Amino acid sequence: VGLFSEDKGVLDNKSKNTPAVGFAYGFDRVIEALKMQNLSPKFENGKILITFVSEEFKDYCVKVVKELRERNIIADLDIMNRKVRKAMEYANNKYRYVIIVGKKEVEENKITLRDMESGEQKFLGIEEINVE
């Protein structure tokens, strides 16, 4: 909790002082409270991580993530330049699906979709992705 009396123009874009009060929760306390109630943050079941074999395929991945988001599919692009194996390890407990993009996928305008729960992989067009 705090009183902020010297916030010139922060709230109303004017040069006068605008008194305000505020508060914030500590993230660690929120997580601890969730654990105490046997509640934990759950990831969306259809959440997708998109990774690429080589930097040259990054633009294609950006196109894929845009198309998925336009269809209201939750998708993140792995921008950490991890090797595919490392990206899969990262995705293992955070994402239900991983899209892998390499030369074949770009040449054929498709993607490889891996289900992280079952281990099943499919080679399909972007419009064929249905992860609900």
Q: Is the pLDDT of residue 72 over 70?
A: yes
Nearest to 97 by CA among 45, 32, 62, 59: 45
**pLDDT of res. 54:** 93
Nearest to 64 by CA among 3, 125, 117: 125
**pLDDT of res. 5:** 62
| Block residue for tokens 């505020």 | 22
Q: Can you give the CATH number for the domain in which 122 is found?
A: 3.40.50.800
**Most confidently modeled range among 16-20, 22-26, 32-36, 122-126:** 122-126
**pLDDT of res. 37:** 81
Q: Is the pLDDT of residue 43 over 50?
A: no
Three-state SS string over the chain comes to CEEECCCECCCCCCCCECCEEECCCCHHHHHHHHHHCCCCCCCCCCCEEEEECCHHHHHHHHHHHHHHHHCCCCEEECCCCCCHHHHHHHHCCCCCEEEEECHHHHHCCCEEEEECCCCCEEEECHHHCCCC
Residue 29 falls within a domain, yes or no? yes
Give me the domain span that covers residue 11: 2-36
Q: Are residues 74 and 16 in the same domain?
A: no
Q: Are residues 65 and 85 in the same domain?
A: yes
Segment 4-21 shows an average pLDDT of 60
Residue 107 falls within a domain, yes or no? yes
| Block residue for tokens 């990831």 | 43
Residue 42 falls within a domain, yes or no? no
In this prediction, residue 45 has a pLDDT band, given cuts at 50, 70 and 90, of low
Q: With beta carbons less than 8 A apart as the criterion, state whether 121 and 68 touch.
A: no
**What residues contact residue 27 under an 8 Å CB cut-off, 6+ apart?**
none
